[in-house]
Structure 1
Amino acid sequence: MTSATKIALIDSHPLMRECISNYLSGFEYAITLQVDDGKELIDRLTKENVPDVCLLEFNARKKVGYETIKMLKSACPHMKIAIYSMQTGPVENQIPSGADVVISDQTSIAEFKSTLDKLI
C-alpha cells in the first residue's frame, strides 16, 4: 500500500469502534468515518471522503446489516464491504449479498488485519 487506505467503521458500540480504530490506525489505514449505523454513514459521505472499505458490524437478527449493505452498495458501488459480527449464526461462513468478506467472531486481531490487507 502506498497511501493510507480510507476506512469507514460502522458499529453501534462506541468501545468496539474505538478499539478497532486505534488498532488499525497503527498501520497504513486511515479511519475517516466512525458511525453508529449505515444511514449516518450515508448522511456524512461527501465526494472527498468516500472510503475504500467499510467495516460493518453485522446485525443479522434485526436484518439491519442486510439493509445497510444494500444502501452502501447503492451509494458507493466501488467501496469494499467487510462485515464482522459478535454473534454466531447467520453470517458465519457465508457472505451476505453485497459484502466482499466476512470476518468470523472467532478471528484473531492479526487475522482481522490480514483479511483487510487481502481485501485491499
Structure 2
Amino acid sequence: MNNTGMAKIALIDSHPLMRECISNYLSGSDYAITLQVDDGKELIEQLTMENVPDVCLLEFNARSKTGYETIKMLRSAWPNMKIAIYSMQTGPVENKTPSGADVIIPDQTSIAAFKSTLDNLIQQ
C-alpha cells in the first residue's frame, strides 16, 4: 500500500468503458488506480520500481498479450504483486486454470462481491 494507506491498483482491460467504470468505482472505494492500460504488453512497458501496484486487476482476455502471458511476465518480474483476473466474455473464467492468478473473479460476481474479493486479496 502507498503512504496514504490506499492500495495501488493497475487495471488492464481492453474495453475503455469497463476500464473507466471499474476505475471510478474503485477510486471511490479507497483504492488508488495507478495505471490503466489496454493490454498486458502496455502494462509491462509502463511498470517501473516507482509505480508497482499492490494488485494487478486483469481482464483475462485483454488483447495483445493474453492473461496467461501477462501473468507469467508479472510473476517473473514482480513476484510480490498480487494478481486478480476477471473476464466479461461468455463462459466462466474458472475454466482457464491454472492461470497463476491469486484470485479469479467470475463474470457473475456482483460489484459488492467484486470489491470484497479485492479487499480480501489485499489483506492477505
Gapped regions of structure 2 (runs ≥ 5): none
Name the structure 1 match of 2:98: 96
Structure 1: how far apart are the matches of 2:83 and 2:27? 18
Q: Secondary structure at the match of 2:20?
A: helix
Name the structure 2 match of 1:81: 83
Structure 2: how far apart are the matches of 1:63 and 1:35? 12
Pairing 1:43-82 to 2, within 5 Å after superposition: 43-59=45-61, 64-82=66-84
Q: After TM superposition, what 4+ stretches of structure 1 lie above 6 angstroms from structure 2?
A: none
Name the structure 2 match of 1:113: 115
Deviation readout 1:67-111 (Å, 9 max, x if unpaired): 111111111110000000012436226653320000000000000
Residues matched between the structures, number: 119
CA distance change for structure 1 residues 29 and 44 in 2, over 3 Å: closer, same or farther? same
- Give the CA RMSD over aligned residues: 2.1
Structure 2: how far apart are the matches of 1:109 and 1:116? 11
Letter in 1 for 2:28: G
Gapped regions of structure 1 (runs ≥ 5): none
Structure 1: how far apart are the matches of 2:54 and 2:65? 24
**Normalization by structure 2: what TM-score?**
0.87
